[in-house]
Amino acid sequence: MITPYFVIIPLFAAFLIALIARKKENIAAGIALIVGIILCIMSIYSFVLLSGNEGAIYYHFSNWKAPITISLVLDYLSSFMLIIISVISLIAIFYSLQYLNHYTGKWQFFALFMLMITGMNGVALTGDFFNLFVFIEISLFSAYSLVAFGCEAEELEAAFKYAIVGAISSTLILFSVGILYSITSSLNMADVGRLLLNEKSKVIYLVYGMMIVGFGLKSALVPFHAWLPDAHPSAPAPISSMLSGVLIKVLGIYALIRVFFNVFGAPQIFLQIILILGIISMVVGGLMSLMQWDIKRLLGFSTVSQVGYIFLGIGLGTPLGILGAIFHLLNHSIFKALLFMNAGAVEYALDTRDMKQMGGLSKKLPITSTTSMIGSLSISGIPPFNGFFSKLIIIIACIQAGHPIYAGWAILISIITLAYYLKMQRFTFYGKQNFKKIFEKVPFTLKTSMIILAGLCVISSVLIIPGIKEVTLDKVTEVILDKTKYIEYIKPLILGGR
Amino acid sequence: MPVEIWLHFILGFMIIGAIAALEIKDVLSAIIAVGIVGLGLSVAFLFLQAPDLALVQFVFEILCMIILIRAFTHRKEHKIDLKSNVVLVAIAVVILSVVFVLGIFAFKELPSFGKPIARIAERYLTKGPQETGSANIVTSIILDYRAYDTLGEITVLFTSILGAFTILRVIGRKQRR
Amino acid sequence: MTLYLMTFFLFLVGLYGATTKRDIIKIILAIGIMGYSVNLFLILIAYRSGAIYPILTKSLGKELMVDPLPQALVLTAIVIELGITALLASLAIRIFEKYKTFDITQVRRLKG
Amino acid sequence: MNEEKGMTIIVKTITRFTVWLIFLYGLYIIIHGHLTPGGGFAGGVIISLSFVHLTLAYGKDFFLKRHKISTLHNIEAGGALAFVIIGILGIAWTGSFLANFISTGKLFTLKSAGVIPLLNIAIGAKAGTALYLVFYYLVTHRSFIQKSESEGEIK
C-alpha cells in the first residue's frame, strides 16, 4: 500500500532536515532532491497500479474503517494531480540548488518546500473534509513563508496580503464544513455525498456559496484574484513556478472539482457561476497582462487568464469540456513553471525584473531565450506545442455545448495572449540592448531544468493522440463525471469496526 | 437557568467585545478586548460541556495575549487613529447585511440547537473507551480514530514556527557583488 | 437558531474587520475573531440538551454525552489559529521595520 | 518592563516558586491526557507558559544561559519526528499508519490506552518548545538576530 507514503515521506524529510541539517545546507538539499526523485517514481507507479485495482485504492488510518476514521482515496484524478505535483517539484528542487546561491537560510527553504509538497499531496489524496482543511493550511502556511523568503519590503507585503486572504478563505471553508457536519453528521466526503442525495434543505446553498468563495480565493478567480499578481512574482523563481504551476491548481481547482463534482454531484448553479467567472477571469487577466512591464507580474496576470480557461472548460460540464480543462491544467503547470524559471534566470543574470531594462538578451543567454520562446508559443497556443491542443479542445467543447460566443471569447483572448507574450519576447530577448552588463552567467542546474521543461512542452502533446488518450486523460475525466463510483465504496462499511 | 440563556448572554458579550476591539483606538485596549472575547469563548465551552477545549482555549488565549502585547505595544511611534475608507465600509456593510439575511433563511434548516443527529458520535461514545482504552473520548478521537488529523495539526504548528523563524531573518539575500 | 445566528453575526463582524480596517494589528485581531466564531459554531452544533462532557469517570453510569467529534476538530482548529496568529505577527513586525508604519494603505509598493 | 534585566526582586522571588508549579501542572496534564480533560497540546502550552513566565520575570538572557536555543529546536523537531515514527511503527506491527499497536490495558489506569500517552508526550514536547520559540523570536527579534550573527549561528 503506497498511498500514505506520499504524505509520510516528505513529512519525515522536513522534520529530518530541521533536526540534523540545520548547519549543513548541502545535506538539506540532498535530502530534498532524493525525496523529490522518490515521489516522482512513486506517483507515476501509482497511475500504473490503478489499472489493476479497478481504478481506486482506499486506505484507512489507525486500523479503523471509513466514516469513523480518515480515509485516503487514490483514484485516477488524485494520481494525475500527484504526478503534476511531483514532476514540477522535482524540477523546481533541482533548479533551486544553484538559484539559491544569493539567498540565506537554505535549510529553511528546503524544509518548507517539503512541507508544501506534504500539504499538496495530502490534499490530493484525502477523502475527508476536515482533513482537506488541515492539509490546505499546511501547504498555505509554507507558501506564505516562502513568498516572504527574500525578506525584502515588497515580499513581506505580498506575503501578508496572501496570508490574510488565505486565512479568510480557510475560515470560510471550515465554516461550511461545520454546516455540512451539522446536516449529515459525517465528515467523510463519500459519506456526505451519499447522505446529501436525499437531502433537500436550503442551507446547502450557503455551503455552495462559502465553498465557491473559499476555493475561488485560493484559485484566484477574478473577483478574488487581487492577491495573486503580488504574491506569485514576489517569491523566489522556483517557488513562483510551484505556486502558479501547482499550488493554486491543487488547492483551488482540484478541491473544487472533487467537492462539487464527486460530492455534490455538479449542481447546475455551480456550473453556471464557474462558467461566468471563468470567462471574466480569462478576459480580465489577459487585458491586465498587456499593461505590465514587470516580467513576473505579467506572468502572474497570465496565470489568472489561463485559470479562466480551465474554469471555462469545467463550467461547461460536458465530457469534452472537462477533458480540455484537465489537459490545459497539466499543460499550464508545465509551461507556466518554465516561464517563471526563465524569468528567474533573467533576474539571476541581470538583477532586475523590469522589461524596459532588458532587451537583446538572446545572444547572451541563448538557452534561456530559446526555452522562453518555446514556453511563450505553447501558452499562446501555436500548433506543435501542447497549449494548442488543450485550447482547441476547450473551444470545440464550447461550440459543441451550444455556446459559440464563449468560444469566440476564448479565441480572442488566445490572440491577446500571443500579443503580450510577443511583447515580452520583444522587450526581453530581442530588440535594442538596454541593460548595462550581465552580472553572472546562468548556472548549470537552471539551464538543465529549463531544457527539461521545454522538452515536456512538446512531449505532453502526445497525451492527446488517440490510443494514449484513452488510458490517460479519459480515465481522469471518467472519475470526475462518475459521482456514483466515488460515493459507492462507503456503503458496506457504514459504522463498521476494525 | 437553562444553558441557552447563559449562552445568549455570553455570545452577546462576545459580540460587543469584538466590535469594541475593532473600533477602539488604543492598541493595548484592542488586544485586551479580543482577549476578553476569547475568555468568553472559553466560558461558553464550559457551558457546552467541552472541558478539554475550555482548558486549551484558556491557555491559548493567555499565550496569544502575551505574544501580541509584547510584540506590538512597545512601539511608541505607532498611532492607531486611522479612519477607514467610508465607501469601503458602506459596501462591506451592505454586502455583509445581505449575507446575514440569507443566513437567517439558511440556518433555519439546520437541526435545532440541542438536537444534533450525532450518527457517528454514538459509535464513538458507546465503543470508544473499550476499543482504545482511553477514558477521555475526545483524546481517543484525536489520538486514535483521527490521529492523522493530529499529525496534520502538529505539522501546521511546525510549519508556522519554521515560517516565523524564516521571516524573521534579518538578511534575506546576500549582497550582489 | 438564534445562537447560530449570533455566531454567524460574530463571524461577519470579523469578516468586516478583516476587509475594511487599515491597521495591520486590527486585521490580525479580526482574523482571530473569525476563528473564534467558527470554533464556537462547531461546538454549538455538537451540544445535546441535558448531556454531559464526553469523559468517562468511575462513578458515572451510562449517561447521555455530547458529540465528541467536533470537540476534536476544534482542538485542531485552535492550534491552526495559533499558528496563523504567530505567522501574521512575525510578518507584521517585519513590515513595521521596513515601512515604519502599521497602516495598510501606506504599505503599498505593490499595486495589486 | 526592562527586557534585558527583567522585573523587580519581588517578582523574581515569587516566580521562583510559581514557575515549578506551572511546569508540574503542565506535565500532569500531558501525562493524564487520556484520563482527564487536557492532553498533549494543552499541557505543552502550559509548559511553554512557564518558560514565558521565567523569561518575563528574569529577562530574556536568563533562560538562554542555561539552555541553548538549538536544544529547543532539536526537542521540537524530535517531538514531531517521534510522532511520525510511532505512526510508522504502527505500520510495522498492524499494517496501518498510526495504529494503536500496544495493548490498550485496563480502563481508568495511567498505563492504559496503548500509544495514546506516548503520542501525548510527543505532542507536549513539541508544542511546549515550539510555542516558547515563537514567543522568543517575536519578542526578542532584533537583538537575538544581532547576537547570533556575531556568534555565527545564522549565516
In this predicted structure, what is the pLDDT of residue A330? 93
- Confidence bin at C61 (pLDDT 50/70/90): low
pLDDT for position A471:
86
- pLDDT tens readout for residues B116-165: 887 788 888 887 777 777 788 888 888 888 888 999 999 999 999 999 88
pLDDT (tens digit, 9 = 90+) per residue, B28-73?
888 899 999 999 999 999 988 888 889 889 988 888 888 888 777 6
Q: What's the mean pLDDT in A323-351?
A: 91
Cell numbers of C43, please?
461546538
Rounded alpha-carbon distances, angstroms, from residue D36 to A326, B44, C55, D28: 50, 19, 7, 10
Nearest one of A326, A346, A355 to A476, comparing CA atoms: A326
Per residue in B72-86, pLDDT (tens digit) is 766 555 555 567 778
* Average pLDDT of the residues of chain A: 89
Return d(Cα D5, Cα D105) in angstroms, integer: 50
pLDDT of residue D153: 43
Q: Which residue from A156, A116, A136 is spatially nearest to A241, judged by alpha carbons? A: A116
Which chain C residue has its CA at the smallest distance from D132's CA? C86
Nearest-Cα distance to chain C for A299, in Å, is: 14
Q: Minimal CA–CA distance to A214: which of A281, A152, A259, A157? A: A259
Give the nearest chain D residue to B63 (CA atoms).
Answer: D49
pLDDT above 70 (res A66):
yes
Candidates C65, C78, C84; nearest CB to B60: C78
Which three-class secondary structure state does DSSP give residue A128?
strand
Locate the chain A residue with the closest alpha carbon to D84: A12
Output the CA torsion sign for C24, C26, C27, C28.
Answer: positive
To the nearest whole angstrom, how far is the Cα of D134 from the nearest Cα of chain A? Answer: 14
With an 8 Å Cβ cutoff, the interface of chain C facing chain D consists of: 53, 55-58, 75, 79, 82, 86, 89-90, 93
pLDDT tens digit string along A119-146? 999 999 998 899 999 999 999 999 999 9
Per DSSP, the three-state class of D58 is helix
Note whether D37 contacts C93, CB cutoff 8 Å.
Answer: no
Distance CA(A408)–CA(A171), nearest Å, equals 38
**Residue D109 per-residue DSSP state:** S
| Chain D contact for B29 (CB, 8 A cutoff) | no
Is A187 in contact with A263 (CB distance < 8 Å)?
no
Angle, helices A5-20 vs A106-125, to 10°: value is 160
pLDDT in tens, chain D (155 residues): 445 566 788 888 888 888 899 999 999 988 887 788 878 888 998 998 898 888 888 877 776 666 677 888 888 888 989 988 888 888 888 878 877 777 777 777 777 777 888 888 999 999 888 888 888 888 777 554 444 444 544 43
Q: Which CATH number fits domain C2-99: 3.40.50.970, 3.40.1740.10, 1.10.287.3510, 3.30.200.20?
A: 1.10.287.3510
Q: Which of D80, D106, D138 sits opposite B158 (nearest CB)?
A: D80
Average pLDDT rounded to a whole number, residues A296-303:
91
What is the average pLDDT across A148-158?
88
Answer whether C38 touches B (CB < 8 Å): no
Residues of D in contact with A69 (CB under 8 A): none
Contact C72 B149 (CB under 8 A): yes
* Residue D107 contacts C, CB cutoff 8 Å: yes
Nearest to A43 by CA among A10, A15, A71: A10
DSSP H/E element including A75: strand A71-75
A213 touches chain C (CB under 8 A): no
pLDDT of residue D101: 75
The tens digit of pLDDT for each residue in A81-117 reads 999 999 999 999 999 998 988 888 889 999 999 999 9
Distance from CA of C67 to the nearest CA of A (A): 10
Within 8 A of B158 by CB-CB distance, chain A residues are: 14-15, 18, 115
Average pLDDT of the segment spanning C60-69: 79
Instruction: Note the pLDDT of residue A491.
Output: 64
Q: Which residue of chain A has the CA closest to C39?
A: A175
- Select the residue of C57, C82, C93 nearest D138 (Cβ to Cβ): C93
At A81 the pLDDT is 93
The answer to whether the Cβ–Cβ distance between B174 and A62 falls below 8 Å is no
Phi, psi of B21 (to 5 degrees): -60, -35
For residue C98, what is the nearest residue in chain A, using CA coordinates? Answer: A153
Task: Show me where the domains of chain B are located.
Answer: 124-172
The partner residue sitting opposite D39, judged by closest CB among B133, B139, B161, is B139
Q: Is A46 a residue whose pLDDT tops 80? A: yes
Q: Say whether residue D137 is in contact with chain C using an 8 A CB cutoff.
A: yes
Q: Which one of C28, C52, C53, C55 makes the best mutation probe of the D interface by having the most chain D beta carbons within 10 Å?
A: C55
A222-236 mean pLDDT:
88
**Whether residue A353 has pLDDT greater than 90:** no
Q: Do B100 and C23 touch (CB under 8 A)?
A: no
* Residue range A296-308: mean pLDDT, rounded: 92
Cα–Cα distance, A146 to A231 (Å, whole number): 10
C4, closest residue in chain A (CA to CA): A179
**Mode of pairing for the β-strands spanning A56-60 and A71-75:** antiparallel
Q: What is the pLDDT of residue A230?
A: 87
Give A-chain residues touching C84 at CB under 8 angstroms.
Answer: 137, 141, 163, 167
pLDDT given for residue C60 in this prediction: 67
> What confidence tens digit (pLDDT) does each residue in D38-74 have?
788 889 989 988 988 888 888 777 766 666 778 888 8
Which helix (H) or strand (E) segment holds residue A240: the answer is helix A237-242
Residues 6+ apart with CB under 8 A from A233: A158, A240, A294, A296, A297, A299, A300, A353
Q: Under an 8 A CB cutoff, do A153 and C83 touch?
A: no
Residues of C in contact with D41 (CB under 8 A): 75, 79
DSSP state of A466: T
Hey, which of A190-199, A364-373, C49-58, D113-122 has the most confident mean pLDDT?
A364-373
CA–CA distance, A486 with A482 (Å, rounded to integer):
7
- Whether residues D138 and C53 touch (CB distance < 8 A) is answered with no
Poorest-confidence range of A276-280, A427-431, C25-29, D58-62? D58-62
Average pLDDT over residues B13-21: 92
Q: pLDDT value at position D94?
A: 80
The chains found to touch C (3+ Cβ pairs under 8 angstroms) are A, B, D
Domain ranges, ordered by start, for chain C: 2-99
Contact flag C31-A171 (C-beta cutoff 8 Å): yes
Closest by Cβ to B72, choosing from C25, C73, C87: C25
Give per-residue pLDDT as tens, A195-204: 888 877 888 8
**Which residues have C-beta within 8 Å of that of residue A337, sequence separation ≥ 6?**
A88, A91, A92, A241, A242, A244, A245, A246, A453
Taking contacts as CB-CB distances below 8 angstroms, the residues of chain C near B116 are 45-48, 67
Contacts with B, D 119-138, CB within 8 Å: 119-120, 123, 126-127, 130-131, 133-135, 137-138
Distance, CA of A226 to CA of A304 (rounded, Å): 10
Chains in contact with B via at least 3 Cβ–Cβ pairs below 8 Å: A, C, D
Å between B152 CA and nearest CA of chain A: 6
For position A492, what pLDDT does the model report? 54
For residue D23 the three cell numbers come to 511546569
Rounded to an integer, what distance in angstroms lies between the CA atom of residue A351 and that of residue A152? Answer: 14
The residue with cell 520583444 is: A426
**DSSP assignment, residue A67?**
G
pLDDT for D4: 58
Contact with chain C for residue A135, Cβ under 8 A? no
Given CB atoms, is A164 within the 8 Å cutoff of chain C? yes
Residues of B whose CB is below 8 A from D80? 154-155, 158
Closest residue, chain D, to C79 (C-alpha): D41
CB contact under 8 Å between D90 and A11, yes or no, is no
Measured in whole angstroms, how far is the alpha carbon of residue A9 from the centre of its chain? 21
pLDDT score recorded for residue C112: 47
pLDDT band at B176 (very low <50, low <70, confident <90, very high): low
Q: Within an 8 Å CB–CB cutoff, is residue D110 touching chain C?
A: no
Read off the C-alpha cell for A287: 487585458
**Among candidate residues A3, A38, B158, the one with its CA nearest the CA of residue A30:** A38
Q: Between A19, A22, A60, which is nearest D78 by CB? A: A19
Cβ–Cβ of A62/D99 closer than 8 Å? yes
Whether the ipTM is more than 0.90: the answer is: yes
Residue-wise pLDDT for C13-35, tens only, equals 999 998 888 888 889 999 999 99
Q: How confident is the model at residue C40 (pLDDT cuts 50, 70, 90)?
A: very high
Q: Give the gap in angstroms from C-alpha C34 to the nearest C-alpha of chain B.
A: 10
User: Which position has the grid cell 514540477?
Assistant: A88
Count CB pairs under 8 A between chains C and D.
20
Residue B118 is predicted with a pLDDT of: 77
